[in-house]
Amino acid sequence: MRFAFLTELYHPNLGGQEVFFQELAEAMVRRGHSVDVYCIGHHTSLAVDETLNGVRIRRNPLSNHYLNPPIPALRRNWSDVLRFSAGVRQHVVPRRYDFHLVNQWPLLHVAALPRKLRARTGIHWCEVREDPVLGQAQRRLPRMVGSNFAVSKAVAAAITEQSGQPCSVLPSGIELTRYRVAERSRRSGALYVGRLAPHKNLPLLIDAFELAAARGFDGDLVIAGDGPTRADIEDHAGRSSLTSRVHVLGSVTEAQKIQLLSQAAVLGMPSQREGFPRVIAEAMASGLPVVTAGFPENGAKDVVSQYGSGVVCGTGPADFAEALLTAQAQWDTFSTAGLAGAQSLDWSGIAQALETRALEVCGRYPVA
What is 119-184 written as a DSSP string?
TTEEEEE------HHHHHHHHHGGGGSSEEEESSHHHHHHHHHHHSS--EE----B-GGG-----G
Distance CA 124, CA 102 (A): 6
Question: Rounded to the nearest 5 degrees, what angle is found at the Cα of 303, between the Cα atoms of 131 and 353?
Answer: 100
Cβ atoms of residues 355 and 362 within 8 Å: no
Distance CA 133, CA 82 (A): 18
Residues 6 or more apart in contact with residue 119 via CB below 8 angstroms:
145, 146, 361, 364, 365
Cβ atoms of residues 278 and 267 within 8 Å: no
Distances in Å between the Cα of 261 and the Cα atoms of 28, 41, 186, 217, 258 are: 27, 31, 12, 18, 5
pLDDT of residue 368: 62
What domains sit in the chain, N to C, each tagged with a CATH number? 2-173+346-364 (3.40.50.2000), 176-344 (3.40.50.2000)
pLDDT of residue 353: 96
Digit-by-digit pLDDT tens for the chain (368 residues) are 999 999 999 999 988 899 999 999 999 999 999 999 999 999 999 999 999 999 999 999 999 999 888 877 768 998 999 999 999 989 999 999 999 999 999 988 998 999 989 999 999 999 998 888 889 999 999 999 999 999 999 899 999 999 999 999 999 899 999 999 999 999 999 999 999 999 999 999 999 999 999 999 999 999 999 999 999 999 999 999 999 999 999 999 999 999 999 999 999 999 999 988 889 999 999 999 999 999 999 999 999 999 999 999 999 999 999 999 999 999 999 999 999 999 999 999 999 999 999 999 988 888 86
